[in-house]
Amino acid sequence: MADPRPGRLTAHEARQRLEHARNSRLAQLQALSETGQSADDHLLSTQAKAIQRVLKEINEAFARIDDGSYGACLGCSKPVPAERLEILPYTRYCVPCQRRAAT
């Protein structure tokens, strides 16, 4: 699982980044729940759903590490650049495939 090639994240580094991203999102959810606003508040609800969606993506990224497919684009199967994985460690796509998926 560990990839010693320069410019690639090792499984350990990827897990660390994902843990950090997960902990940040969980803290955001906690802060939202402590605002005292009604759960019916549209903005609050939208924010919580977006955070939960990212948490799901993070969990899926952990599964990709476990099955050895982490870092490969789900669209074209090419390696996702390490710089992109550093910014979005849970991303499933390289930038060109992400753009195609978003349209």
84-99, pLDDT tens digit by residue? 999 999 999 999 999 9
CA distances to 36, 38, 52 from 63, in Å: 35, 34, 17
Summarised one tens digit per residue, pLDDT across range 42-53 is 888 899 999 999
- List the chain residues with pLDDT less than 70: 1-7, 37-40
Q: Which of 97, 61, 60, 51 is nearest to 77 (CA)?
A: 97
Query: What is the percentage of the chain residues whose pLDDT exceeds 70?
Result: 88
DSSP secondary structure letter of residue 39? T
